[in-house]
Structure formats: structure tokens, C-alpha cells
């Protein structure tokens, strides 16, 4: 089943305790599409880039079954740019710079050929743009998943809350869940957020895994204990790509399959952090993914007899 993805396609500059990168390719929609393309094709991308965005990167996405008819190229402008620095505790990062550039006056246009998408991933982006994409779809998709971040909570909370009413699954990290709900307990935060619209909430906790909430149910997925986390940039988006990619490829929206989707997302994210930027996520094979999902199953598999 076709998947529509909207989000940033960007240049990033990253500093981690292990090193520093100059401008490398990043962006939420880039990571989502790279990750999801292992599970579902076609992916129909909506985004905007400047004339500085390398053609090879666009070609590579196309070779992976990503359609770019909805990606505007503004030849005379610069692509979105983000710079961030990670602490030794890589769950903590500071945004050093966010330059909207082409994003500042971006009006997304969803091509007619995208109307068949039953799965929609609203990647991290200005909430009003995410909403505009959703409004352009003539038929309500089967599943709408949304990601966002503190930047938009600080600058566009009313728009974000309006959009939440139309979303099935929200993906955020723990501090964002707390900020959005004004609750410290994640269980209380989940109740508050699910009352805002989403039926499902996924709370990502970096190296501590992820939680899935739905009604009164909770599921916990671990993160793979890795000796070295090189660069966590894009891990959230890569998670999102694996999560919705699995759901779109199976078409099964039961709670049980959502659990599987969380494991697939976690497995994909565990690759992403192994190298800088998109490097690792571009080089892995289907076999690598299968093997890693197997490792996740082992990680939490136990057989206990209750007395």
C-alpha cells in the first residue's frame, strides 16, 4: 500500500562526543523515506529543497521507490539547515541553529497521483504545513501518524493541538510528551495526549526504548544495548519510517501488530545511530534488518512459570 511522507529534507551539522560533521544530508522526511523503503513502495514524498540539495541524493531516493513529484525544488534558495550538539548522555541534545530557508514560505502541493495513499506519515515539520497536506487528501487515509518536536511546541502550539484532532498515532520523545501534556508521569501524559485526538501514543526514550499506549494498554519495547552510539540524529525519524513501513506493508492496524511495528521501528533506529547521518541506514540489507529484529525478540523473550 502506498505511503505518503511529508517532512523536511535538509542539511545538518552535527557535533557528538565522538566527532563533528560539516553539512551532511538529513531531514525528517529523508530518514523516514530511507527507512520505510525497506518495507513499502511506492513512497510519495512531499517536501521542499533549495538548489543546493544534491541531485545524487534525490536519485538515490528515487532508486529506492520514493516518488518526488511532491518535492519542490527552489533553485535560487537554500535548503532547510539544522545544527545540533549532543551531550555525553546522548539522550540530551541542544539545537544550535535552525534556518528555515526554503521552509519559511513553503506551500505544499499534493499531486493527484498521491491521492491513493492510505498511509500518511506527517514527519516533523511546521504543524500548519502538516495539516495542509492532510487537508488536501480527498479521502480520509487508513492511518495518519504524526511526529513533532519541542521547537514546534514552543512556536506553534495552537496549530499543533488543532492538527492532533485529526491524527491516529502521535510519536514524541519523553520530554516532548511531558511538555505537550504538562504532566510529569508518562502514564498521565499519555491519557492527556490521547484525549487531544490520537488513539495511540508512542513515547520514544532513546537508549531506554519506547512505550506504546492505547486506551488502558501499554507495551514496552527495549532499545538494543549498543556499545557505541555514534550519532543519534535521525533515530526518531528512522523509527517512524520502520513503524509506519511495517504497518503499511501488512495493512494490519491491530494493537498486536502495532507492537510489532514498534519493534521494527526500534530495530531500524538501532542501525541509524551506528554511524553519522544517513550513512548506516543507506548501507543495510534486508538480511541485516531480519537479523536485528531477531535480536530484539531474543532481548525480551523469557519463559516464566507462575506458581
- By DSSP bridging, strand 200-204 and strand 210-214 are antiparallel
Residues 12, 113: Cα–Cα separation, whole Å: 30
Q: Does 121 bind ligand AMP (CB under 6 A)?
A: no
Region binding ligand AMP by CB under 6 A among candidate stretches 22-30, 62-70, 138-146, 178-186: 22-30
What's the min distance (Å) between Cβ of 83 and ligand AMP?
9
Q: Does 90 bind ligand AMP (CB under 6 A)?
A: no
The grid coordinates listed for 137 are: 487528501
**Per-residue mark of binding to ligand AMP, 183-222 (x: CB under 6 A):** ----------------------------------------
Q: Which of 117, 122, 170, 235 is in the footprint of ligand AMP by CB under 6 A? A: 235
Nearest to 120 by CA among 31, 267, 280, 1: 1
Q: Does 26 bind ligand AMP (CB under 6 A)?
A: yes
Tell me whether residue 150 is exposed, middle or buried, using C-beta atoms within 10 angstroms of its C-beta: 0 to 12, 13 to 18, 19 or more.
middle
Tell me whether residue 12 is exposed, middle or buried, using C-beta atoms within 10 angstroms of its C-beta: 0 to 12, 13 to 18, 19 or more.
buried
What's the min distance (Å) between Cβ of 290 and ligand AMP?
23
What's the min distance (Å) between Cβ of 252 and ligand AMP?
25
Nearer to ligand AMP, 154 or 228 (CB): 154
User: Cα dist. 142→129, 166, 169 in Å?
Assistant: 20, 12, 12
Residues 160, 232: Cα–Cα separation, whole Å: 25
**Per-residue mark of binding to ligand AMP, 1-20 (x: CB under 6 A):** -------x-x-x--------
Taking each helix axis as running N to C, give the angle between helix 127-135 and helix 150-164, from 0 to 180 degrees, rounded to the nearest 10: 30
- Which residue is listed with cell 494493537? 255
What's the min distance (Å) between Cβ of 55 and ligand AMP?
19
Q: Does 265 bind ligand AMP (CB under 6 A)?
A: no
Region binding ligand AMP by CB under 6 A among candidate stretches 34-42, 128-136, 137-145, 235-243: 235-243
Q: Does 120 bind ligand AMP (CB under 6 A)?
A: no
The grid coordinates listed for 304 are: 516464566
Rg of the chain on CA atoms, in Å: 18
**Residue ranges in contact with ligand AMP by CB under 6 A:** 8, 10, 12, 26-28, 82, 98, 124-125, 149, 151, 233-237
Amino acid at each position: 500500500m502506498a505511503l505518503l511522507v511529508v517532512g523536511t529534507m535538509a542539511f545538518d551539522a552535527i557535533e557528538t562526543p565522538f566527532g563533528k560533521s560539516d553539512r551532511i544530508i538529513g531531514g525528517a522526511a529523508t530518514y523516514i523515506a530511507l527507512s520505510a523503503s525497506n518495507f513499502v513502495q511506492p513512497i510519495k514524498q512531499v517536501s521542499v529543497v533549495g538548489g543546493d540539495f544534491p541531485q545524487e541524493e534525490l536519485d538515490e531516493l528515487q532508486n529506492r521507490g520514493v516518488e518526488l513529484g511532491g518535492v519542490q525544488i527552489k533553485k535560487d534558495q537554500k535548503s532547510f539547515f539544522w545544527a545540533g550538539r549532543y551531550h555525553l548522555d546522548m539522550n540530551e541534545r541542544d539545537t544550535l541553529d535552525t534556518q528555515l530557508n526554503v521552509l519559511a514560505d513553503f506551500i505544499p502541493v499534493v499531486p493527484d497521483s498521491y491521492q491513493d495513499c492510505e498511509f500518511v506519515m506527517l514527519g516533523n515539520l511546521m504543524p500548519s504545513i502538516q495539516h495542509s497536506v492532510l487537508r488536501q487528501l480527498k479521502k480520509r487515509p487508513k492511518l495518519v501518524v504524526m511526529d513533532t518536536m519541542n521547537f514546534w511546541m514552543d512556536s506553534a502550539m495552537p496549530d499543533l493541538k488543532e492538527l492532533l484532532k485529526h491524527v491516529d498515532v502521535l510519536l514524541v520523545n519523553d520530554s516532548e510528551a511531558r511538555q505537550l501534556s504538562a504532566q510529569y508521569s508518562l502514564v498521565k501524559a499519555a491519557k492527556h495526549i490521547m484525549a487531544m485526538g490520537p488513539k495511540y501514543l508512542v513515547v520514544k526514550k532513546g537508549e531506554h526504548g519506547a512505550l506504546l499506549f492505547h486506551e488502558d494498554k501499554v507495551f514496552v519495547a527495549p532499545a538494543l544495548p549498543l556499545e557505541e552510539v555514534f550519532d543519534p540524529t535521525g533515530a526518531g525519524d528512522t523509527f517512524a519510517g520502520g513503524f509506519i513501513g511495517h504497518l503499511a506493508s501488512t495493512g494490519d492496524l491491530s494493537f498486536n501488530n502495532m507492537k510489532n511495528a514498534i519493534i521494527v521501528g526500534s530495530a531500524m533506529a538501532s542501525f541509524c545511530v551506528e554511524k553519522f547521518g544517513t550513512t548506516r541506514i543507506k548501507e543495510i540489507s534486508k538480511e541485516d534488518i531480519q537479523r536485528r529484529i531477531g535480536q530484539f525478540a531474543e532481548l525480551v523473550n523469557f519463559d516464566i512459570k507462575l506458581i
